[in-house]
Amino acid sequence: MMADEREENLREMAALGNLKAVQAYIRSGVNVNSQNKMNGRSALHWACVRGNQAVAELLIRAGADTSVADNKGQTPLDVCKSDATRAVFPGYSATDLHHDEAAAGSAQDVEPERSFVPHYLAHPDLSKAWGIPDDALVDAPRDSGYMRQLQHEASVKVGQREPVAPAAGAGASAERELLVYSGQHSEECLVGSVVVDAQALTVAELGQRIREELDGVPTAFGFARYNGKQTVPVGVKQEAFSVARVFRGSDDAVVLRATTDSSH
């Protein structure tokens, strides 16, 4: 499959909000900054104009250019449809909203005025809103062992789960209960626990689960792993790995470190 076809598929998945597919395309080396030849929009443009906050955040973390302009001179931030999506842009704060009211208002009128509407938006295939397309898992040029591992993890997430040695008889589950601490590993800092499929969930997705299920967590946080002896920081790049790969010890615990921005 030609590279430009995969780039177009990445933009389609971003528009549809298929986070897992976008993640797989990024991992397989598709250019996140590629632009549609007809309207100049990138995957980040489409995530923003369709209000897909999680996809926009993932793309920015993967190096998407927030300043690239489409054929109308609009950046992804210009076409954002929600304050929540604008908030994932580095350096953006609520105080900026007053300055951007005019840009946000014009963005509301952008979509009806377009002379060219991609086929996947004019006739959306809702079955593509979940799952990972086969071409998202092909080898990238000059593939590395690191990239192959990431692609393998992406394939595991869509049902091709690698065998797990049974812990207590056949049929052992990949689910794990992880204790979650805020700030440091101590009894008074324990905020709760989450039960997750450690192979199917990435560390970034674990963060979203923690926000949804637990109270008393920082508004923005990074991760650290307590391995029973010391607290080891988890890098931003490692957040794309599966929970099983990062928190690999049976007694590992999650320590949340408050941050001042989304890049931690």
Would you give the DSSP letter of residue 225? Answer: E
215 within a domain of the structure (yes/no): yes
Integer angstrom CA distances of residue 40 from 74, 127, 181 = 9, 26, 44
DSSP class of 242? B
**Is the full-model pTM beyond 0.85?**
no
- Verify that 98 and 193 share a domain, yes or no: no
Which tens digit of pLDDT belongs to each residue from 117-173? Answer: 555 555 555 445 546 666 565 554 444 444 445 555 554 444 444 433 343 443 445
* Domain at 18, CATH number: 1.25.40.20
pLDDT in tens, 83-122: 889 999 987 765 454 444 444 444 444 444 444 555 555 5
Whether residue 145 is contained in a domain is answered as no
Strands across the sheet containing 253-258: 190-197, 175-182, 253-258, 221-226, 231-234
Tokens, residue 205: 């997705």
The set of residues, in sequence order, having a beta carbon less than 8 Å from that of 244 and lying 6+ positions away, is 174, 176, 198, 199
Q: Is 251 among the domain residues?
A: yes
The domain of 98 spans 3-131
60 belongs to a structural domain: yes
pLDDT in tens, 220-248: 999 999 998 899 999 989 999 999 999 98
